[in-house]
Amino acid sequence: MVKAVVKIGGKQFIVAEKETLLVDLLQEGTKELTLDALLVIDGDKTQVGKPTVKGVTVTAKVIEELVKGEKIRVIRYKAKKRVHKETGHRQKYSKIEIVSIK
């Protein structure tokens, strides 16, 4: 099984073919991604790029454009001042599937 390390939205992911993952929300209208591999693992062989591995590309397609993550509660509190404020945040993600590693 071939695995690769790719960089999407400033974060690095270890991916394999036919794998789905959540990444930060991509631009609207994006259907396919072509990514350069930073590192390739093929069984016992490992290729490290400087900065990318030449001739290796990872193709991915967008399955869902807007997926909301889990709600995170944020509390701001000042002791002995009767001040407190609670807000929430839900991160937006894109769900992608890795089509091929060539």
The whole-number pLDDT of residue 27 equals 93
Per-residue pLDDT tens over the stretch 22-50? 999 999 899 999 999 999 999 999 999 99
SS3 state at 55: coil
Which tokens in the block code for residue 52?
Answer: 């990318």
* 44: Cβ contacts below 8 Å, ≥ 6 apart: none
What pLDDT, on a 0 to 100 scale, did the predictor assign at position 87? 97
pTM comes to: 0.84
Q: What pLDDT is recorded for position 56?
A: 95
Q: What is the mean pLDDT of each run of 10 residues along the chain (102 residues)?
A: 95 97 94 96 95 96 95 97 97 96 94
What value does the mean pLDDT of the chain take?
96
